[in-house]
Structure 1
Amino acid sequence: MNIGLFGYGKMGKMIEQLALQRGHNIVAKVDVDTKHINFSEMDVAIDFSTPDAAFNNITASIKNSVPIISGTTGWLAQYDQVVELCKEKQGALIYASNFSLGVNIFFELNAYLAKMMSNLEQYNVSMEEIHHTQKLDAPSGTAITLAEGIIEHTTYQDWQMESTGKHSIPITSKREGTVPGTHTVSYESDVDKIEIKHEAHNRKGFALGAVIAAEWIQGKTGIFSMRDVLNLSERT
């Protein structure tokens, strides 16, 4: 499989390393100074760029009939435009706020716990996410996905940074050192506290999940998620 990398920072380099180990080729490394992109050599593109660049990277790939895997967060205000373009061009896209296999299992646990807690009004939910100081967006896309999973199954209506509103999920974002990513969801009452937590030890899990998604999307058209890649949709 010939892979084009959009974004050649720490994640891009790790994706390259794992892709080569799995027998794939890197045919393009697109960064801010790249002038020419040869889409004809790519079987798939993987985007871990910046919020400002992601939309153009994704749309260009779709227009050139290259399936694209995007793990960049912070561009979702334009997500509906990408969906329409993907349908129009019969393209293929997988977007995930987090490609880690463990985190995607965590998403499922979060949704299941929210269902169980939905009628227990004595518990208030809150969330904390911690990342390295170079992360550009806050809260993280993973935290937003977790919040959306809770909103879907409870009476909470939205999420807010540090909110104390009854129908808003408060999210605390911290930026510390080189932390690759820690997410904690808490339900607390006057008598006890229930907590689930995912802690990444390094970025390897994110990179491996993106490469696995790129392998999976070959020969497919449509808009997919990691639930499709991991066959989680058939289990819930």
Structure 2
Amino acid sequence: MDELKSMVLESAAYQQKQRAQYTPRFFMERFGELIKKQDIQEYVENAFLFSCEIAESLVTDIEINKNIHNKCLKGCSHCCTQPIQILEAERIVIINKINRDFSPEDKRKIKHAIKQFQKDLRSKVGAVKHTSKFRQDYLKQGLYCPFLGEDGACSIYNSRPINCRTYYEYISPESCERQDYSDTSIAFEDAQFTIYFMLKNALIAYAEYHGIDYIFLWDRYVNKNNIELLPFSVNTNDF
């Protein structure tokens, strides 16, 4: 475990150094045409997915350097019973994924799964609250995310939220099954910060070109004060 803790510290320092290059100027040069032509929601999706790709690649660099491999595999879904709160930017990415890639039948199934999840949660836990007690009560129910397929794979994997992307188990998936996350799992908060840092600069680039208040865009799409629980934030009328 000392090696894992060392990896976290090294990852944080490495990511801090690497993410410094992703300035507003970088996004203007790299995504200039998208900034000019796309509406804000299309641009937010592209900026979000690019930022996630970079953050994940930086974690992978550390894993390779340390010769440590996470144990997260397709079909291992114990962490999918955790309450995941998402930003407006993440909601947009998920909705676009559904509208773009899901068949009419898949859309029907996911609508039913979301509505059933909401019903089950309300009846077993009650109203959604941002408290530690709500989280504890939620975890006791073992409610799986409605986006988890029958095959144990995430149906929105490439568009999944930040918290789902930056949490890894390094010893055994059995630890996740026991909900024993403290000693064998790592939440790469530095990877999350990299994504927020990049999204901030991506929005600054868009705002400067279009003459929009950057703070307005940040509050609308990335401000953590606007987070909602995943199954409740996705409106089934949007797809």
TM-score category, normalised to shorter length: under 0.3
TM-score, structure 1 normalization: 0.25
